[in-house]
Structure formats: structure tokens, C-alpha cells
Chains A and B, each alone.
Chain A
Amino acid sequence: NAGVTQTPKFRVLKTGQSMTLLCAQDMNHEYMYWYRQDPGMGLRLIHYSVGEGTTAKGEVPDGYNVSRLKKQNFLLGLESAAPSQTSVYFCASGRAGVPADTQYFGPGTRLTVL
């Protein structure tokens, strides 16, 4: 049982390049989330999904797109990376129908945009 895994762990991009971050969970969770963590800002929600085929915007969605084609995977895309997207990205998952349930976090992806 691997929990929540994220690929890649580190990445350096040039401004304008694109990339996709992959999150996978093996706990059969309905809910999945993408957060970004910046110094002095805590974690902020980018996008989330309450089930396969559904996505919704979070607090800071601009410049990102997401897809949830399979229940176990949640992809975060950057179409044209900007230096402001330099951050550590965390994926999390959680169960539906369990109020105040724990969210399970992946180890993070450290992205630098030059």
C-alpha cells in the first residue's frame, strides 16, 4: 500500500515550457486535491476533484489545468510555466462521506521555473 505518490519529485523548467505532474493513490479515495506551498503562505488549494471525471477550481487555479480520467490518478498541468509557479506542489486524497476525515498527502514535487 503506497498511499499517495507523486511524479516527478523535482523538476526545473524554463519560462513558457509545459509539464504535467502526476498524482496517484491506491486507497480508493473519491476526493483528490492539488495544493501549492510557498514560504510564508502555507498551503493553498489549486484544484480539486470529488470523483472520477469531475474537477473544480480552488483558491489559486489560474495557470493550471487538471484532469481526473481515472479514479486513482489526478493530473496537474502547466501549459506555459511562469516563475511565479515556482513552488512545492502537494497532492492529497480523502474519502467521501466521512466528515472531517484525514487527508493523505504525497511527498511533494519541487518545481523551479527559470
Chain B
Amino acid sequence: GNSVTQMEGPVTLSEEAFLTINCTYTATGYPSLFWYVQYPGEGLQLLLKATKADDKGSNKGFEATYRKETTSFHLEKGSVQVSDSAVYFCALSRGGSEKLVFGKGTKLTVNP
């Protein structure tokens, strides 16, 4: 079946540090890939997405590239800020009803 594996946290960084959160997936065919972010006390919101191999999604300084050969969609940011502290979820969808399959989430804390 379809599944998503992302690096376990928590991750703690200092402001302006480089961030990588690893995500790999297992799926039949060609899924769409997403990163969602959950700020404290809120629901999830889409951070970025990619729909085919070699696509790069980007938003708010975050980037992720759809790598079919390694079945990966790693999230990166060159310089994190305190306001980036949140839980990050990698997810995939396949099929007409667009159901999402989520990874377990990675909690990021950025210290000033």
C-alpha cells in the first residue's frame, strides 16, 4: 500500500541554521507529494507540493524536489527563523478522491 516515512524528531536548531527533514514514500504509480505545516494550536496548512518527477515545490523559503529514483521528497530551508517552529508533515495522494497519506510528523523548534 501507500506509505510515507519521515525522519523522527524532534529537531532543534538555532536561528539561521540550515534545515533538512527527510521524507521517503512507497506508492504505486505516480503520487502527488506534499508538505503540510501545523503551527501550535492550529490545523494543518499546505506548505508546498509537487506533482511529477523532478518538480520542485517552494514556498516561504522552503523547497522540496520530487525524486522518483530515490522515492524521496526532502524538505529544506537555508536559514530557519523562530517563526518556523512547527510540526511538519510529509504526505502523498493518489487517485480521484485525493485522500492524503501522512508521515508521522517532525517537530521543529528554532531557538533565537
Q: How far is the CB of A67 from chain B (nearest CB, A)?
A: 17
B residues touching A (Cβ–Cβ < 8 Å)? Answer: 4, 32, 34, 41-46, 49, 51, 89, 93, 96-105
Is A56 an interface residue when CB atoms closer than 8 A count as contact? Answer: yes
User: Is A44 within 8 A of B32, CB to CB?
Assistant: no
- Asked, given contacts A42-B102, A42-B104, whether A105 binds B44 with beta carbons under 8 Å apart, the answer is yes
Check if A103 sits within 8 Å of B43, measured CB to CB.
no
Binding site for B on A (CB under 8 A): 4, 31, 33, 35, 40-45, 48, 50, 56, 58, 90, 92, 94, 99-103, 105-108
- Chain B residues within an 8 Å CB radius of A107: 41-43
Cβ A43 vs Cβ B99 within 8 A: no
In the complex, what distance in Å separates the CA atom of A50 from the CA atom of B99? 10
A100 touches B98 (CB 8 A): yes
Contact pick for B49, options A31, A56, A100, A106, CB 8 Å: A100
Contact of B43 among A42, A50, A105 (CB under 8 A): A105
